Amino acid sequence: MSITRRQFLKASATAGLAAGVLPVLGGCGATGDGAPVTLFTGGTIYVDAATTARNLVVQGGTVVALDVDPSAWPGAAVVDLGGAVAYPGFTDSHMHLMETGTMLVVGGEIRPAPRNGREVAAGLVALAEKHPGAKALLAFGVNPPDYDAWSLDDLAEIDAVEPGRVAIVFDRLGHNCVVNGFAMRKFDADRKPVPYGGTVVRQDGKATGMFREAAMNLVATDAFAEFDDASVKAGTAALAAQWARRGYTGLVDLMGATGLQLMRPRLLRELEQEGKLPLRVHYCHTLLSLADVEVAAGFVGQDTDLVRFVGGKIFVDGAFAGGQAWTSWPHTLPAGSHGLPQITTDDAHAPELNLNRIVARAEELGLDMHYHAQGDLAIKAVLDALARVLDSTGRLRGIHTLIHLAYPTPELVDHLLSVNARAGGRHVVATTQPGFWEVEADTTQYYGDRALDAYPLKSLIDSGVSVGISTDFAVSPIELVNPTKIMGVAATGGSYAAHHPPVTVQDVVQGLTVGSARTTGQRDVGMLHVGYKADMVVYEEDLYGIAPEALSATYPALVSTWVGGRLTPP
């Protein structure tokens, strides 16, 4: 049985794949033990970022052979790529699936980005009309010129809209939120101590509804609890399907934000069982303190084929685009600020917030870790904690990922490589978002001339750091999340090319495949060599043969994505 590209695209449209159903095309091909066998041929197949094969054979979702004589596989179903080009599946190594999906389906983005209470209120009016029966109004996009100037007048504007139910609006960074007075009263937010690394903005001693950084924990987790599993599940499924359609076969869900924990991985497993999860989801548990390391360890051993636990994620510093990157040099706004550490490096504030204790305990439990590290002091804090573990135990067990990795100095890159070498390699990796090169100018008010030099991707790659590529959606604008768009930005330097030495498209493919896979702790994704999962993205043209400036969100055309040899939504 042979299936052409035209046929499998037609099949995807008629089989209900938009809802996430994943039929195995060509299931009639089987070996003697009954396991389906599929031969992919008729195009160029990159089995890693640089090596090609004429064809490959998939059995039970895994690549079992390359460059075969087709006559040796007489029972195999054949997928004819029709001259298209396949690559190992792309993984978005940092995005927010569950909470962003929920916001998009049962809430919404307020556009244009509201800058004050009056504009937020107008957006909430439209949202209330869209979701009249919702227990809470959930939105994102607020972008005030000065967070700390949020006032009681702003609160009054918001309180005038649906004053009898919770209203919460996250900023575009996911590090700050605004709530109405009803929410503050319901969650008793103003009576709880403000967490370290957070701020409740006040006027005349009264809370204005602006909760910054770690202070979001006073309202955000409770606000999401207003939404039942069905709502969260629907949003998660919709956003996962959209990522599959954009060319991803996997993602790392950070599953929470600063001051927000949204841990419902059982919903992902339900979607998988129902045949409605179109890609692999590697999820993290956001840690707010040392005690959460033990909670995270409870998710070990629950993995399925598509739903896999990574480990802990912790915020070391605040939002880069909010002026809160933790740096050794002062920022322009607020004048003299060095950013905001979200965690301590000793017991001066509380042992529960000591990063060294948290890292040591995670290592004892063998957990992989992701660290929100923007700013040289944030990066140094993580690397110093890892070095302490090496001094004490002589090894690292987990994979430690520094996400964002803004403002790494050459000395810190050397520090990272040294720690990694002492650990035997592969244990310290990074992720970054070259798409952010397009929007870095938004941060000049905080960092002045340094703003455009935050993400030195090429120097990291050239130094030998393993770098995964990510979007950080919904922080990144949706216009910048398609893999081919990211390639175009990274390979040209983006809008501020003078500050960004371009990398090659092959570098980006390496980052989306092997680099991103390394951040998950898994060793069966990221390539198409024998023994790896048959996760593939197929494009009409070879990405390496296209002028970088021509690459865009829609060019070249994405033909299909395959997860474990199964076709996902077109």
Q: pLDDT digit string (tens) for 286-343?
A: 999 999 999 999 999 999 999 999 999 999 999 999 999 999 999 998 899 999 999 9
6 pLDDT higher than 60: no
Q: Which CATH class is domain 316-524?
A: alpha beta
Quick one: tokens of 191?
A: 């009576």
Confidence of residue 35 (pLDDT cuts 50, 70, 90): confident
Q: Do strands 52-53 and 44-46 pair parallel, antiparallel, or not at all (unpaired)?
A: antiparallel
pLDDT tens digits for 57-92?
999 999 999 999 999 999 999 999 999 999 999 999
Q: What is the pLDDT of residue 93?
A: 98
What dotted CATH number matches 95-224?
3.10.310.70
Q: Which amino acid is at 319?
A: A
Task: Give the integer Cα–Cα distance in Å for 378 and 315.
Answer: 9
Q: Do 54 and 530 meet the contact criterion of CB atoms below 8 Å apart? A: no
DSSP calls for 87-150:
EEPPEEEEE-HHHHHHHHHHSEE-SSPP-SHHHHHHHHHHHHHH-TT-SEEEEEEE--S-GGG-
The torsion of the CA quartet 164, 262, 514, 479, rounded to 10 degrees, works out to: 0
Query: Quick one: tokens of 167?
Result: 């209203």
Q: Is the pLDDT of residue 429 over 90?
A: yes
In whole angstroms, give the CA distance from residue 297 to residue 288.
14
Please check the confidence at residue 442 and state whether its pLDDT lies above 70. Answer: yes
Query: Per-residue pLDDT for 19 more than 50?
Result: no
Look at strands 44-46 and 85-88 and give their pairing: parallel
> Quick one: pLDDT at residue 259?
86
Buried b (16+ CB within 10 A) or exposed e, 460-480: bbeeebbbbbbbbbbbbeeeb
> How many other CB atoms are there within 10 angstroms of residue 177's CB atom?
27
Mean pLDDT of 273-279: 97
Pairing mode, if any, of strands 307-315 and 44-46? unpaired
Phi-psi region of 174 (alpha: psi -120 to 50; beta: other; left: phi over 0): left
Residue limits of CATH 3.20.20.140 in the chain: 316-524
Please tell me the pTM assigned to this model: 0.93
Nearest to 181 by CA among 152, 217, 204: 152
Tokens 């770098």, residue located: 467
CATH code that applies to domain 2-89+552-567? 2.30.40
Contact partners, residue 468, CB within 8 Å, separation at least 6? 91, 93, 94, 401, 429, 430, 431, 432, 511, 512, 515, 516, 517, 518, 519
Residue 144 to residue 438: CA distance in whole angstroms: 20
CB of 443 closer than 8 Å to CB of 321 = yes
The string of pLDDT tens digits covering residues 468-482 is 999 999 999 999 999
- Average pLDDT for 140-167: 96
CB 321 within 8 A of CB 173: yes
Q: How many CA atoms lie within 13 A of 115 on its CB side?
A: 3
Phi-psi map region of 197: left, alpha, beta (phi>0 left; psi -120 to 50 alpha): left
Q: What pLDDT shows up at residue 34?
A: 67
Which part of the chain is CATH 3.10.310.70? 95-224
Give residues with Cβ within 8 angstroms of 493, minimum separation 6.
Answer: 437, 499, 500, 501, 502
Position 570 confidence tier, pLDDT thresholds 50, 70, 90: low
Q: How do residues 379-405 score in pLDDT, each as one tens digit? A: 999 999 999 999 999 999 999 999 999
Number of Cβ within 10 Å of residue 301's Cβ equals 7
Among positive and negative, which fits the CA dihedral 333, 337, 339, 340?
A: negative
8-state DSSP, 475: T
Compute the half-sphere exposure of residue 249: CA atoms within 13 Å on the CB side of its CA. Answer: 30
> What is the chain's mean pLDDT, rounded?
93
Give the residue-averaged pLDDT of 445-463. Answer: 95
Which pLDDT value is given to residue 33? 58
Contact of 253 with 98, CB cutoff 8 Å? yes
Per-residue pLDDT, 133: 85
Number of neighbours of residue 145 by Cβ within 10 angstroms: 8
Confidence category of residue 540, pLDDT binned at 50, 70, 90: very high
